[in-house]
Amino acid sequence: MIVGTAGHIDHGKTALVQALTGVDADRLAEEKARGITIELGFAYADLGTGRVTGFVDVPGHERFVHTMLAGAGGIDLALLVVAADDGVMPQTREHLAILDLLGVHRGIVALSKADLADQARRDAVIAEIAVLLDGTGLEGAPVLPVSTVTGEGIGTLRAALADAEAETGARAADARFRLGVDRSFTLKGAGTVVTGTVLSGRVAVGDTVTVSPQRLTARVRAIHAQNQPVQVGLAGQRCALNLAGERIDREAVRRGDMVVDPVLHAPTDRIDAHLRVLGSEPRPIGTWFPARLHSGAAEVGARIVPLEGPLDPGAKGLVQLVLDQPIAAAVGDRFILRDVSARRTIGGGVFLDLRAPARRRRTPERLAQLQAAAKPDPAEALQTMLAAPPYVIDLTAFLRDRALGPGEARRATDGITVLDGGTATVALSPLTHRGLVAGVLDTLSRFHEEAPEMQGLGRERLRLTLTPRLPKEAFAAFLAERIAAGDIVAEGAFLRLPGHVVRLSEEDEALYARIIPELSGEARFRPPRVRDMATAWDIPEADIRRVLRMAARQGRVDQIRTDHFFLRATTAEMVRIISDIQAQAPDGWVTAAAFRDRVQNGRKVAIEILDFYDRQGVTLRRGDLRRINPHRADLFG
């Protein structure tokens, strides 16, 4: 368990951590000289459970709220410290509001400096605290009087923390590894060390990780978890990672970076989110409202774009956050927004979509998608998102942006149709998938009815007619699936239904009837070229070539070369001629000259015909010699 302190300056947070753990969390000389906490402090202790509890001590001064935020992101339990003599103070309120916005719902209130207050004063402050906690995530939290001077209540507080430790469950172990960096330093003889809370997954010595958003590759040389040397760091632990790699040093890895499983590296500077504005905000939040975004230990400039109209103080709603620079984050991460002068907290919320669109961000379809994405269970979120337009989800991004591990991914996609296009893997609901199949069959059926003379519909044209419109790679996977199932047939760049046969129009049939005599009779082995017929009849070459190509798709003719077409009967007859020559040849092989002499054609055309049979696999070639392939001899009937 990780405990984070919170509360006003000089209310005794650091002294209380020292009384509980024996560790002075103030490390800096300036902190000791001024008697205030400036940087994050860390301490560890076994509170009697046999498990090590980590403490993150945060500064209480209003000028260091950004530092408090850097330490509060990964805690399991808040230790809100309120001095009995001062009572509730401004930073008590702001820290509590931040904890509430971060979704921290477990906490204990320590009524510190109890030795300075009589019972009446204690009762008054306890009543004040109860009012303060009302309606927050810490409502009903126990209030325990303590004194680091007399030792009063320290044992009781330690026992309460130990009970909370025992009740703390493991975080998502199957998720992919993420650690939010809050410190980076160099140790002599070891090199670069980064510390932070493991937000999800696990990391082991020897693992390769990525520092995001910079995309620095590193190897984990050593790990300390909860201040103990270990081989594996787990979700929920505070870990120190000794990293090695090119460009890895203290300056390269900064507070606010994420150390992640390499699969998760995908920084973003535009995020759709759910925001709750604090009631203390002086005016509504309108479009392009400037702010400072705090996510984990990261802090960047941001602009707020409300997606459902301006947000009044105390209101909740969907927003788009446009960041000054990319950050590493995950769907479901909590964030805090403060004003640009760092004087007040505006509000906070949760990230819903890390790949937010810059355009059409307010459409009803888009807002419905965000409402679906807000569901905390990934499987439920995915199913709900697939039930609304655009009915298709980039599954790679969905799984990555939620840091889902293999087991979680399988559970989330159970019962979902997945189309793996290599570079684009998408998810569809079974209902949408069935609709796509029906759409393909209906579209091709109508196309064949309207254009019977056409071989089929082009792949891209078909893709653009369907709803939802799949990415090209995913559509290719979908087509491969349907072709394998026998629903459709692919012929080159065209798709058709299995039963479709090209039919010429009346005009084209008339032209074809005029062509047939030119390809028949004694001239059948030496038919005129397309351009010769076009010249003789004063008809465009393109029209004759188009009709002959359609006839070829029907099996009536064969296109030997670009300008040479032979009747199918002639093509089959020439195969028999080659077989006859082969049977008479002493070595069983056919020469181009022998074939030329039999069909009484020129050498060039004879070789073009033989090359055609080679391409079709009807003949087997050895140098300039050929023979019939017995397995393909009847290809042309």
pLDDT (0 to 100) of residue 439? 97
Q: State the Cα angle at 157 between 151 and 158, rounded to 5°.
A: 95
Token pair, residue 587, equals 């070595």
Residue 30 binned pLDDT confidence (cut-offs 50, 70, 90)? very low
Instruction: Give the pLDDT mean for 464-490.
Output: 95
Q: What is the mean pLDDT of the chain?
A: 92
Q: Is residue 86 part of a domain?
A: yes
Same domain, 129 and 183: no
Domain contains 354: yes
Q: Point out the domain boundary residue: 245, 264, 283.
A: 264
Hey, which residues does 310 pair with through a beta bridge?
A: none
Whose CA is closest to 157, among 3, 374, 375?
Answer: 3
Q: β-pairing, 289-295 with 298-306?
A: antiparallel
The helix (H) or strand (E) run that includes residue 184 is strand 178-187
DSSP state of 500: -
Q: Nearest 5°: phi and psi at 99?
A: -60, -40
In tens, the pLDDT along 483-511 reads 999 999 998 788 999 999 888 888 999 99
**One domain for residues 45 and 137:** yes
**Boundary residue ending a domain (347, 366, 385):** 366
How far apart (Å, rounded) are the C-alpha atoms in residues 530 and 569? 19
Secondary structure letter of residue 415 according to DSSP: T
**Which CATH number covers residue 98?**
3.40.50.300
Residue 422 lies in a domain: no
What pLDDT does residue 440 have? 97
Q: Quickly count: other Cβ atoms within 10 Å of residue 578's Cβ.
A: 23
- Distance CA(103)–CA(5), nearest Å, equals 15
- Helix (H) / strand (E) element for 219: namely strand 216-225
Mapped onto helix, strand or coil, the DSSP state of residue 274 is strand
DSSP, res 112: E
Task: Dump pLDDT digits (tens) for 52-76.
Answer: 888 888 876 666 677 778 777 778 9
User: Could you give phi then psi for residue 548, rounded to 5 degrees?
Assistant: -65, -35
What pLDDT is stored for residue 585 in this prediction?
95
pLDDT for residue 62? 65
Q: What are phi and psi of 169, to 5 degrees?
A: -85, 165
Q: Find the CATH number of the domain harbouring 577.
A: 1.10.10.10
- Round to whole Å and give the CA distance between 476 and 493: 12
**Mean pLDDT computed over 414-436:** 94
528 is a domain residue: yes
The candidate with the shortest Cα–Cα distance to 268, out of 362, 397, 426, is 397
| Mean per-residue pLDDT, 37-46 | 77
Domains contained in the chain, number: 4
β strands within 165-306, DSSP E: 178-187, 191-200, 202-204, 208-212, 216-225, 228-230, 232-234, 238-244, 258-260, 268-277, 289-295, 298-306
Beta bridge partners of residue 322, listed in sequence order = 270, 303
> E strands, 355-460, where?
393-394, 417-420, 425-428, 457-458
Helix (H, G, I), strand (E, B) or coil at 417: strand
Question: pTM score, two decimals?
Answer: 0.80
Q: Residue 32: pLDDT above 50?
A: no
pLDDT over threshold 60, residue 254: yes
Cβ-proximal residues to 134 (8 Å cutoff; 6+ apart), any chain: none
Residue 28 falls inside a structural domain: yes
43-64: burial string, b at 16+ Cβ within 10 Å, e else? bbbebeeeebbbbbbbbbbeeb
Is pLDDT at 38 greater than 80 in this prediction? no
Q: What is the pLDDT of residues 356-391, one digit of tens each?
A: 999 999 999 999 999 999 999 999 999 999 999 999
On the question of pLDDT at 174 being above 70, the answer is: yes
Question: Between the CA atoms of 102, 108, 110 and 111, what dihedral angle is there, to the nearest 10 degrees?
Answer: 100
- Give the angle subtended at the CA of 539 by the CAs of 536 and 542, to the nearest 5°: 120
Give the distance from CA 72 to its chain's centroid: 26
Does pLDDT of 28 surpass 50?
A: no
Q: Are residues 55 and 119 in the same domain?
A: yes
Res 592 pLDDT > 60: yes
Q: Is residue 172 part of a domain?
A: no
Q: What are the distances in angstroms from CA 223 to CA 229, 324, 496, 511?
A: 6, 33, 60, 82
Residues 236 and 345 in one domain: no
User: Residue 146 corresponds to which tokens in the numbers above?
Assistant: 């303590």
Do the Cβ atoms of 17 and 47 come closer than 8 Å? no
Q: What CATH number did the domain enclosing 291 receive?
A: 2.40.30.10
Say whether both 136 and 161 belong to one domain.
yes
Length of the chain in terms of residues written? 637
The CA R_g of the chain, rounded to the nearest whole Å, is: 37
How many other C-beta atoms can be found within 10 angstroms of the C-beta atom of residue 563? 16
Pairing mode of beta strands 77-83, 107-112: parallel
The per-residue pLDDT for 588 is 95
Same domain, 34 and 112: yes
* Domain-embedded: residue 459: no
* Other CB atoms within 10 Å distance of the CB of residue 142: 11
The residue from 350, 366, 382 where one domain ends is 366
Give 389-398 pLDDT, tens digit per residue: 999 999 999 9
Residues 183 and 287 in one domain: no
The phi and psi torsions of 494 (rounded to 5 degrees) equal -110, 155
Q: Is the pLDDT of residue 115 over 60?
A: yes
In this predicted structure, what is the pLDDT of residue 34? 45
According to the model, what pLDDT value does residue 617 have?
Answer: 94
- Cα 342 to Cα 62: distance, rounded to the nearest angstrom: 9
Same domain, 282 and 209: no
Is the model's pLDDT at 467 over the cut of 50? yes
Amino acid found at 337: L
pLDDT(31) > 60: no
202 and 171 in contact (C-beta within 8 Å)? no
Residue 470: which region, alpha, beta or left (left: phi > 0; alpha: psi -120 to 50)? Answer: beta
Q: Please give the residue range of the domain that contains residue 619.
A: 506-628
- Residue 199: inside a domain: yes
pLDDT at residue 612, rounded to an integer? 96
Residue 23's pLDDT is: 84
Residue 60 shares a structural domain with residue 132: yes
Least confident of 60-69, 391-400, 467-476, 591-600: 60-69
In the chain, what percentage of residues exceed pLDDT 90? 76
- Residues 360, 316 share a domain: yes
Give the integer Cα–Cα distance in Å for 328 and 178: 10
Closest CA to 417 of 442, 439, 400, 392: 392
Mean pLDDT across 272-281: 97
Question: What is the arithmetic mean of pLDDT over 76-86?
Answer: 94
Residues 236 and 274 in one domain: no
Angstrom distance (rounded) from CA 7 to CA 62: 10
Burial of 449 (0-12, 13-18, 19+ CB in 10 A): exposed
Query: Is the pLDDT at 36 greater than 70, yes or no?
Result: no
If asked whether residues 156 and 226 sit together in one domain, one would say no
Q: Which of 160, 159, 177 is nearest to 218 (CA)?
A: 177
The more confidently predicted of residues 622 and 25 is 622
